[in-house]
Structure formats: C-alpha cells, structure tokens
C-alpha cells in the first residue's frame, strides 16, 4: 500500500466528490419514486456504479421496460469506458490482472479525467495504481453515501431534477472535458463528436447517437493522427 499516492488521488478528486452530491441524491430519490426499495437502490450503486446508466435504468424501471432491454441500453451508454480504458492502458500495462480488475471497476468519468491528467503530466510515478485507487475510492463511497441519503429521503422531494440537474450534469462533464483539450486536433475531435451527437439524436431514436458520435469522433481523430504522422515522417 502506498498511502501517500492514495491520498493524493483522493485529494485531487475531492472537487468532483462535492459535485457528485446532487447526482447521488437525485438517483436515490428517483429510485425510491420508481418503486425500488432501499436494498435495491443500494445494490445497484454497489454493483453497477455508473451514474448515467443507473439514471437510465431507474427511468426504464418506472416505465415497466423489460430487464433485457434495460441491460442492453445501459451497455450501450457505457461503451465509452472501453475507449477510456484503452487510453489508460499504456500507463497500467505492467500491472497484474487483479489490479486491472479493481481499477476497471472504479473507472468512471471523474476518476478517468483525474487519473489520465495525472499520468500524462509525466510524474515519476506515472502509472502508480494507488493514485487511481484513491481517486476511485473517493468517488465510489461518495456515490454510495449520497445514493443512500437520497433513497432515505424517498418521496419527500417530488422532482429532484428541478434542482437544476439539467444544467449541472452538462456543466460537470464540460469541467472534465475542457482540461483535456490540449491541441487543435483534440478541439476538432470534440467539435465533431458534439455536433454529430446532436445530429444523430435528432435522426436516430434511442441511445444510438452516443455510439455513432463516438465512432465518428474516433475515426476522425485516428485519421488526423495518421495524416500528421505521415507529414512528419
């Protein structure tokens, strides 16, 4: 155990832990209003640990949608984790499998953003798993605590989305995204992803717009990187 790096990861993730509070509360409240009991709400947070997927699942449960379609939809919305994991793999490739399983479970948008930024800065311990473990632990237990409180509040708050989450959610993700834009190529990829996501949302029903925009952005970024490598060679 490397407590210094663990607490460094925890400290750098603290702002996101604070920003997570309304999301966890809202999830717990929405779960209770969808008819889930406390154990079911907490079991989903403990095992799934994916905010956007849990919000989607709760909404679908409230609409009596079948479990197979719920599982498939949440799988689609979380496919972005594959890309996140691939970008971290150069730093974590020397770790044993048990480490990779633990870190993969704890990898969400917030922990990914903090960890990749820390590793990319080229610290002497770049790839230290305890840093990412500390970051993941902070987000994980914050999510469990706020989910629990939200579930206890239950139906006492009729509309948790009235707290301004329709603005807070995009603002949180923008705070994660913007620091990662370090070149014109990254900016172009972000713009392509955003514009195509809106276009596909208007044209294709369901959550396919997420996958389509991701694939298009990856293809554009890969193409630009290949072109740049050829020009420099």
Q: What are phi and psi of 221, to 5 degrees?
A: -65, -40
pLDDT digits over 156-215, tens only? Answer: 776 666 666 656 667 767 777 777 777 787 788 888 888 998 998 898 876 677 778 877
- The model's pTM is 0.79
Which of these, 80, 79, 89, lies nearest to 116 by C-alpha position? 89
Read off the pLDDT of residues 85-121 as tens digits, 9 standing for 90 and up: 888 988 998 888 899 999 999 999 889 989 988 888 8
Alpha-carbon distance of 193 to 135, in angstroms, equals 27
17-47: per-residue pLDDT in tens?
Answer: 988 888 888 889 889 988 899 999 999 999 9
Rounded CA-CA distance 233/228 in Å is: 9
- Let me know: does 142 contact 21? Beta carbons within 8 Å: yes
């Amino acid at each position: 155990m490397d407590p210094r790096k663990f607490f460094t990861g925890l400290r750098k993730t603290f702002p996101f832990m604070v920003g997570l509070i309304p999301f966890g509360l809202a999830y717990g409240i929405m779960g209770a209003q969808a008819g889930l009991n406390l154990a079911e709400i907490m079991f989903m947070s403990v095992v799934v640990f994916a905010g956007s997927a849990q919000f989607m699942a709760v909404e679908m449960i409230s609409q009596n949608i079948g479990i197979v379609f719920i599982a498939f939809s949440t799988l689609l919305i979380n496919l972005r984790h594959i890309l996140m994991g691939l970008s971290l793999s150069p730093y974590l490739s020397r770790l044993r499998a048990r480490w990779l399983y633990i870190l993969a479970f704890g990898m969400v948008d917030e922990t990914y953003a903090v960890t990749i930024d820390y590793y990319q800065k080229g610290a002497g311990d770049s790839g230290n798993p305890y840093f990412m473990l500390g970051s993941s632990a902070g987000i994980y237990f914050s999510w469990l605590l706020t989910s629990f409180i939200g579930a206890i509040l239950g139906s006492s708050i009729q509309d948790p989305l009235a707290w301004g989450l329709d603005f807070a959610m995009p603002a949180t993700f923008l705070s994660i995204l913007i620091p990662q834009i370090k070149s014109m190529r990254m900016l172009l990829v972000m713009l392509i992803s955003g514009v195509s996501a809106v276009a596909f949302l208007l044209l294709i029903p369901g959550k396919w717009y997420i996958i389509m925009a991701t694939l298009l952005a990856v293809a554009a970024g890969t193409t630009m990187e290949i072109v740049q490598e050829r020009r420099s060679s």
